[in-house]
A = this chain, B = another copy of it.
Amino acid sequence: MGNYFTHQRNTNVRVSLPAVCFVWQIAMIILFGVFIRYDEESDVRLWLEFVEHENITSDIENDFYFRYPSFQDVHVMIFVGFGFLMTFLKRYSFGGVGFNFMIASFGLQWALLMQGWFHSLDLNTGKISIGVESLINADFCCAGSLIAYGALLGKVSPVQLLVVTLFGITLFAVEEYIILSLLHCRDAGGSMVIHAFGGYYGLAISWILYRPNLRQSNRLNGSVYHSDVFAMIGTLFLWLFWPSFNSAITDHGDGQHRAAINTYLALASSVLTTVAISSMSQKGGKLDMVHIQNATLAGGVAMGTAAEFMITPYGSLIVGFCSGIISTFGYLFVTPFLDKYLKLQDTCGVHNLHAVPGMLGGFTGAIVAAAATEGVYGSEGLKRVFDFEGDFKDRSVGTQGGFQAAGTCVAIAFGLVGGAIVGLILKIPIWGDPADDNCFDDEVYWEVPEEEETIPPVLEYNNHMIHKHQEMTESNFSVDQS
């Protein structure tokens, strides 16, 4: 009966997928037409006026030159990093990298609007101004939904992913507004707003969409040799460019500089502890590719909030040290536990890579903020780093620490509640999701090339021998019969 049902499941998205894409893209064009304009550093008329009024002496002071190299690194992380990290499954590499490509392209447009409405809407003109920092923020905003995809990988349809992304971007913009603007938290690399939110968002959806019979069909839920090598492309580009991720939108000058150094150090440290725990846990001390591909990145996630603070170089190493250990333990013990006892299937283990290290990063940020002193930062420096200006000019670092911790909780709450609601929406049986037997299989949503041609010579020889024997046996058999 269960099998009967699954075999009947309609995975045809020939109407729904194009319809969503077209409607959405047309809506984007209209909304961009109404709302979005170039900002004063990318509009030729405004830039020339800006240069004149601000006595800017060189075009090099355009924000483009401060942030564009970091933007491109972040861009690589979003599309190549996240995309290839999800190619590790033996027969879901098209879906891993291809759907990641689709939903990020879909999400970044909506993100420009949502973040624009919340953060840079000019109430006089009714327009949103965008520049390079907006592009970085849009990529960041997509990251939350891509993280959620990691938990759902192989178990949902492309239409469901678009729904996940649509709500994910929306929720992101709201929680980001609450955390960064209302609570006035600092979160340069998004430990809270990106990783904790995205991780718990994906986990909540996956929990609602639990498939009790999935284990029976998990023949495809694993890697092959070359798919693991493909995944390392994702891992390495994420790992390498994480210093750019955490420094992309921090303060010009020392802020970006310090955030990059701190992240570089935390990442190096988490590689070593990941190797250590991975080796300890396996017979013969063998390393597990799942750990190397994922837990090595936990240092970058956990430095997301504190990277721009004066956490000190050894503080960064400690953060990486702990997060590498915690993340690898998560892959070893927590993911199987969640699957078995909490009915939570987390394909990529985003719990261990994003949710927990993100939460850890949020609280680390709170502690480092609360421990800030004028001796270390200077009085100007404290204002510069924590943005103690305007309404917040009298906030103490202790209060700031408290708000940072509160912000982390807000992010988690948004992820869990939002994810549960989106999960329920996705249960409506109209989205073309795959049957249990078809999970983790590109055949459902992709034209997959036939493989016959790749048989190496020796196998063709096998084939040939089989036919020859077949003839021999048959003739033999006929002789016997006679």
> Is there an interface contact between B68 and A69, defined as CB atoms closer than 8 Å?
yes
User: A225 in the interface, Cβ–Cβ < 8 Å?
Assistant: yes
User: A228 in the interface, Cβ–Cβ < 8 Å?
Assistant: yes
User: A269 in the interface, Cβ–Cβ < 8 Å?
Assistant: yes
Chain A 408-440 near chain B by CB (<8 Å), digits 1 or 0: 000000000000000000000000100000000
- What's the Cα separation between A463 and B461 when bound, in Å? 10
CB-nearest residue of chain B relative to A19?
B276
Provide a sorted-by-A list of 19 A–B residue pairs whose CB atoms are within 8 angstroms: A25-B321, A30-B314, A58-B60, A62-B252, A64-B260, A68-B260, A72-B241, A80-B233, A101-B239, A105-B267, A109-B269, A130-B313, A132-B257, A158-B275, A224-B451, A224-B454, A225-B448, A450-B456, A458-B463
CB-nearest residue of chain B relative to A219?
B453
- What's the Cα separation between A285 and B457 when bound, in Å? 23
A interface residue count range (under 10 / 10 to 19 / 20 to 34 / 35 or more): 35 or more
> Is there an interface contact between A232 and B98, defined as CB atoms closer than 8 Å?
yes
Q: Which 9 A-B pairs have the closest CB atoms?
A: A14-B285, A59-B253, A451-B456, A45-B378, A105-B271, A47-B254, A59-B252, A44-B381, A21-B276
CB-nearest residue of chain B relative to A239?
B79
CB-nearest residue of chain B relative to A47?
B254
User: Which of B24, B26, B79 is close to A236, meaning CB atoms less than 8 Å apart?
Assistant: B79
CB-CB under 8 A from A59, the residues of chain B are 66, 251-254
CB contact under 8 A between A449 and B279, given known A44-B378, A109-B265, A285-B12: no
With A59-B66, A450-B456 already in contact, 14 other A-B pairs whose C-beta atoms are closer than 8 Å: A22-B276, A28-B317, A29-B314, A38-B310, A42-B254, A44-B378, A49-B378, A62-B253, A72-B243, A76-B240, A109-B317, A131-B257, A226-B226, A289-B449
> Is there an interface contact between B480 and A236, defined as CB atoms closer than 8 Å?
no
CB contact list, A270-303 vs B, under 8 A: 271-273, 275-277, 279-280, 282-289, 292, 296
CB-CB under 8 A from A24, the residues of chain B are 272
CB contact under 8 A between A72 and B244, given known A12-B284, A377-B44, A455-B458: yes
> Is there an interface contact between B269 and A310, defined as CB atoms closer than 8 Å?
no
User: A175 in the interface, Cβ–Cβ < 8 Å?
Assistant: no
A325 → B minimal CB distance (Å): 9
> Is there an interface contact between A17 and B223, defined as CB atoms closer than 8 Å?
no
Q: SS class of chain A's interface: helix, strand, loop or mixed?
A: helix
CB contact under 8 A between A268 and B108, given known A22-B273, A131-B257: yes
User: Which of B58, B109, B466 is close to A268, meaning CB atoms less than 8 Å apart?
Assistant: B109
Chain A 201-217 near chain B by CB (<8 Å), digits 1 or 0: 00000000000000000
Chain A 453-471 near chain B by CB (<8 Å), digits 1 or 0: 1111111001101100110
CB-nearest residue of chain B relative to A442?
B225
A264 → B minimal CB distance (Å): 6
